[in-house]
Amino acid sequence: MPIRSTTGLETLLNGARLTWRGFSSLIGLLGVVALLGAGTAAQAQVAFVSSLVPSLSSSASSSLTLTVPSPLATGNVMVAFVSVNSSNLPDISSPPAGWTTVLTRNDGSSIDVGVYYRVATSADAAGTTNYTWNLSSSARVAGGISAFSGVSTLSPVVASGSSANSSSSSYTAPSITPGVTNTMLVSLYGIDNGNGSSLSTPSGMSKALDASAGAGPNGVEVAVFYGALSASTATGTRVATGSSNATNIGVSLALQPAPSGATHFHITGSNYGLYCLSQAVTVTVLDAANNPVTSYSGTITLSTTTGLGTWSLTSGSGTFQDPVPNDGLATYTFPGNQASATFALSYSSGPAVVTVDAKQSSPTVITDDGTQGAISFSPSGFTVTSSPFSNPASGVPAFASPQVAGNNFSVYLTAFGQTPTDPTCGIIASYAGARNLNFWSTYVNPATGTIVPTVNGAAIANSEASSATRSVTFAGGQATVTANYKDAGSLSLSMKDATTGNPGLPNGIRGSTGTFVSVPANFVVTNIKRTSNGLANPGASTASGPVFITAGQPFTATVTAVANGGTTTPNFGMESPPESVQFAAALVLGVPG
């Protein structure tokens, strides 16, 4: 089964290091790890995993720190619930970084609640991670985090609602309509009394957490319940009963299961284009785990935000149509055996910043993931390719992807386009000699990192603002530099000559690789130990050597994703959703049974 990698150092399964059962090793163990391949899985079933409430104080506080629950796996969806007894409403400030607000609600008098979600990263799953919610005043506050598996990581909450209720010992969460089947209903209650005893469980649900902060009517109690739903229709209200008559707020939300098949499109291409040369744009069909979906046979509509531009098909065996030139629209029907197609966008309408979108409208709405960025069109700039660029050119090809972490790869730069003295579209041969260029990289997924690429052996900046000039020698308008990136994830490399501008790029002509992927060069399996007593695998070389473990007994192992050269790729497993690995056993000696 697929497992999630942590920070590139250790693989976790159900909150512990990897445990394998059912494999007997009388000789050396060979661990084979591979990137999770393309394909689609059956729709996941949403399940409760764990919850945790911190030690609550009966005294007023200006913040609440919540700890992620355990067990917790990468990709689980965490739901945080915070409730405040306060006269300063609303009192809950913005959530910590990485948390998304589902809803906030107050009764206008004394109680304030907030509900938030976060997709657990490998860092969350690897240890005890704390997140702090700040208040705008000092007040009694309570809360907790509940974790669920099998939830869509792209759009976890499909429906939500809240109800501010007058003083009563019956606390009501409103009816909502999920609109999709097989969701998990979560009912959350914030109660304006901290001396309440445990709440009764609403019909058809189970309790995730229930905690009181004390301080009587000046305090607060929180409770969370969950229950699986099969229907997509209205849920009806959910009522929990407590021991205190108190004002309260009830919240209902529905967590939708991770879907099978295509869930979104990913668009890649350079962020800089030329009037006189078509620009490559690649659309890839992905599932919820960012695996390519080769079986997709739907129809997408390509569009530009300016409503201008003409499309053509560069690669792909599906059906392409662009019936009206220069309206920015085209359609493409995937053939059912390819996950991606590449198109050429011709844009000759003058300086413009254009964003390309891709969308399926029927039978359901599927859109692109919004990570593509805009294309700035201008009369001249750099074409940036992974192979030598010819003249004349039919278009700018997509930059080769994936690249292997730690491997050198060539980046071909060509000054191309039209100049005030030469309207011919082609290589600008007069752009020659030593030129001072700024280089920088942009992290795409994950959005941050600790390792930066190198160009010609020297590290470059990770933003345009911090980039510095370096000399690159051009001959006849062309130059080649050598790049290297010793980490995993998707990113882009950009460059500019700030001394040479044009009407479309007054701050310097520019170019970009567009987004490409860097994958680990290898996975290393180490620290293989018997779970029962920590005995290390002796790695026997013959069948008569020392026994490591008997069949059916668990053991643990550490997995490291590495670049060429053996250095760790710390961003592997930090993607959203996190990248995965698979294990397989290989028999070294003996006869298969």
Q: pLDDT value at position 18?
A: 36
How much is the average pLDDT of 469-496?
96
Query: How far, in Å, are 112, 271, 274, 425 from residue 280 at the CA level?
Result: 50, 11, 11, 17
Is pLDDT at 36 greater than 70 in this prediction? no
* Closest of 472, 470, 467 to residue 493, by C-alpha: 467
Q: pLDDT value at position 590?
A: 66
pLDDT digits (tens, 9 = 90+) for 380-391: 999 999 999 987
Q: pLDDT value at position 44?
A: 63
CA-to-CA distance for 441 and 460, rounded, in angstroms? 7
Q: pLDDT value at position 262?
A: 86
How much is the average pLDDT of 200-220?
93
CA-to-CA distance for 351 and 493, rounded, in angstroms? 22
Residues 160 and 252: beta-carbon distance below 8 Å: yes
How much is the average pLDDT of 460-469?
94
- Percent above pLDDT 70 for the chain: 91
CA 370, 182, 203 angle in degrees (round to 5)? 125
CA-to-CA distance for 225 and 201, rounded, in angstroms? 7
DSSP conformation class of 171: E
Query: How far, in Å, are 64, 79, 162, 553, 577 from residue 225 at the CA level?
Result: 21, 12, 15, 36, 26
CA-to-CA distance for 360 and 396, rounded, in angstroms? 26
Listed range (255-259, 462-466, 540-544, 564-568) with the worst mean pLDDT: 540-544
- Tokens at residue 493, please? 């490399």
Listed range (61-65, 235-239, 363-367, 505-509) with the worst mean pLDDT: 363-367
Sequence-distant (6+) residues with CB within 8 A of 573 are: 4, 5, 6, 7, 8, 74, 121, 122, 561, 579
pLDDT digits (tens, 9 = 90+) for 38-83: 233 345 689 999 999 999 999 999 999 999 999 988 889 999 999 9
Sequence-distant (6+) residues with CB within 8 A of 533 are: none
260-378 domain in CATH 2.30.110.10?
Answer: no
- The pair phi, psi for residue 175, each rounded to 5°, is -75, 140
Is pLDDT at 425 greater than 60 in this prediction? yes
Q: pLDDT value at position 324?
A: 97
Q: Pick the more confident residue, 170 or 24.
A: 170
CA-to-CA distance for 317 and 322, rounded, in angstroms? 16
CA-to-CA distance for 344 and 272, rounded, in angstroms? 13
Residues 284 and 340: beta-carbon distance below 8 Å: yes
DSSP secondary structure string for all residues of 18-54: EEE-S--BSS---EEEEE--S---PPPPPEEEEEE-P
* Closest of 303, 343, 302, 297 to residue 318, by C-alpha: 297
CA-to-CA distance for 306 and 310, rounded, in angstroms? 12
Q: pLDDT value at position 589?
A: 66
Bridging pattern class, strands 403-404 and 516-519: parallel
For 421-542, where are the alpha helices, taking DSSP H only? none
CA-to-CA distance for 330 and 323, rounded, in angstroms? 7
- Tokens at residue 577, please? 């959703």
Listed range (73-82, 90-99, 287-296, 528-537) with the worst mean pLDDT: 287-296
Is pLDDT at 114 greater than 90 in this prediction? yes
pLDDT digits (tens, 9 = 90+) for 318-352: 999 999 999 999 999 999 999 999 999 999 888 88
Maximum average pLDDT range among 191-200, 226-235, 391-400: 226-235
Q: What is the mean pLDDT of the chain?
A: 87
Is pLDDT at 357 greater than 90 in this prediction? yes
Residue 365 pLDDT class (50, 70, 90 cuts): confident
pLDDT digits (tens, 9 = 90+) for 269-286: 999 999 899 999 999 999
CA-to-CA distance for 468 and 461, rounded, in angstroms? 7
Domain boundaries, the chain: 3-35+521-585, 47-255, 260-378, 380-505
Residue 588 pLDDT class (50, 70, 90 cuts): confident
Q: pLDDT value at position 210?
A: 94
CA 444, 442, 418 angle in degrees (round to 5)? 115
CA-based end-to-end distance of the chain? 22
CA-to-CA distance for 481 and 454, rounded, in angstroms? 10
DSSP conformation class of 123: H
CA-to-CA distance for 222 and 200, rounded, in angstroms? 13
Q: pLDDT value at position 9?
A: 29
CA-to-CA distance for 170 and 192, rounded, in angstroms? 13
Residue 592 pLDDT class (50, 70, 90 cuts): low
Listed range (41-50, 130-139, 482-491, 561-570) with the worst mean pLDDT: 41-50
Q: pLDDT value at position 591?
A: 66
